[in-house]
Amino acid sequence: MLKSKSVLIGIGGGIAAYKVCEVISSLFQAGAKVRVILTETGQQFITPLTVSTLSRHQAYTDADFWQANHSRPLHIALGEEADLFLIAPLTANTLGKLTHGLADNLLTNTVLASRCPILLAPAMNTEMWEQPVIRRNWQQLTQNSRYHSIGPGSGLLACDRVGSGRMAEPAEIITQLQSLAHTQGQQDFNGKRILISGGGTREHLDPVRFLGNPSTGKMALALAQAASDRGGIVTLVHGPIAPELLPISPNYQLISVVSADQMEAVMMSHFVESEIIIMSAAVADVKPAYYTNHKLPKKELPTDLKLESVTDILAKLGSLKKADQILIGFAAQTGDIINPALDKLKRKKLDLIVANPIDKPDSGFGTDTNQAIFIKADGQQQPIKSCSKLELAHQLLDFVNLEKLRRRNIKL
C-alpha cells in the first residue's frame, strides 16, 4: 500500500525518536520513497548519519534550510513532493507551533508548504501530556481534517513513570500510514456504527478439548482498523486471538468471546444500533452435544462424538436486517468459490459476500495477505488480487460505499 509513495518524516526531540528508525527502515523495505527532516533537538537523540543510512537519502536539517544552494526553496520542494507526512515524536514545542501556525524551522515551514495528510505521533511525559494547555492545543489541532493522530499510549516512560504519553509503536504507525495512503485522510464512515465479528469460535467438549478451526482473526482486525481509520465507530466481537496480534492501543471496541453462543449473544446486543455489519468470523457449525465441566480421562473420551448444530448467526441477522442496514458475510471455500458464495448470499439475505479461497498460497486462515471476489446481491462481482488484509479491508469498504451510493440514488 506504500509502494512508490513519497513519505516525509519529521523527527522531534524526544527519546522516542529511536523508534522512528524502525519506521524508516520498514517504509524503505515496503518500497516507499522516504525523506526525513531532523529538528535541532531531534539530532540530540539520533544522528543524520543514522537516518540517511536507513532511508538511503540525505537527512535534512535546519542547516540545509538556511543555505541558498537549492534550485527551489527546500521546504517548498519537500512539501510538494510528499504524499504522506509523519511527525514523530511530536513534542509539546512542535505541537504548540503547529496549533498556532508558527514556522521558525525547516519542519514547521514544510508543514505550511504542504497539502498532504499529516499523521501525528505525540510523545511526552505524563505530566506534560495532561497539562490543560497541551490538551487544548491537541484538541484544536486535531479538529483540522488534515491532521490525523495515533496515540499516545500508556506504559513505562523514560522518566520511569507509568502513564500516558508513550509514543505509538512502529508497527502501529506503519498500519496507520497504510490506511492514509489508501484514503488520503477521508473520513467517509465518520460516525457510522460498524459491527464486525472475527476469529474462530471454540466449542468445548470439556475444559481442555474443543472443536475449532485455524482462523487467527487477522482479517477481522484489518477490517476493524480500516473502518475506524475512516471514522467509523467500530465494535469487534472476536473469538480467541493470540495476544501478540491484538493492537496495543486500539481505536475501536474489542469484545472477546469463546463459543458461537457467546458470539451470537453479543452480536445480537449490538445489531440494532449498527448500520454496517461484517460477519468475518469462522463460526463453528456444530458443537458437542454434551459438555463435561472437568477434564475427561483419556479412557472416558467418547469414540462416537455426538454433535448438535449451533445457531446460524449470519442467517439470523439476515432475517432481522432492516432496509437501512448493510449485512456482509464471508464464504471461505476450496475449489469453486463463487457458486457456494452465491447460494450463501441468497439464503442468508446478505447485501454483500466475500468469496475467499482458502486453498491458495498466501490466502485464507493465518496469512498476512488475502484474495477474494466481492459479490453483491444483484450479482455484481469484483475480483480482488492478492494483497495485504488491510488493503482488502479498505477495498471492501470502498465496495460498501458504492452500495450506499446506489441506495441513495434509488431514494432520490
The catalytic site residues sit at 159
φ and ψ of 345, to 5 deg: -55, -45
Q: Is 285 annotated as belonging to a binding site?
A: yes
Side chain identity at residue 327, one-letter code: L
Residue listed under C-alpha cell 480482488: 384
Residue from 74, 84, 96, 115 nearest 12 by CA: 96
The distance between the two most distant Cα atoms of the chain, rounded to a whole number of Å, is: 84
Q: Is 229 annotated as belonging to a binding site?
A: no
How far, in Å, CA of 164 to CA of 162, rounded?
A: 7
How far, in Å, CA of 125 to CA of 138, rounded?
A: 15
Q: Is 330 annotated as belonging to a binding site?
A: yes
And the C-alpha cell for 48? 543524520
Cα-Cα end-to-end distance for the chain: 36
Going 295 to 300 to 305 to 309, the CA torsion angle's sign is: negative
**Structural contact between residues 39 and 94, judged by C-beta atoms closer than 8 angstroms:** yes
- Nearest-5° Cα angle at 19, 362 to 185: 65
Q: Is 224 in a helix, a strand, or coil?
A: helix
How far, in Å, CA of 291 to CA of 142, rounded?
A: 52
Q: Is 295 annotated as belonging to a binding site?
A: yes
**Could you tell me which residues are annotated as the binding site for CTP?**
285, 295, 330, 344, 348
List binding-site positions: 285, 295, 330, 344, 348
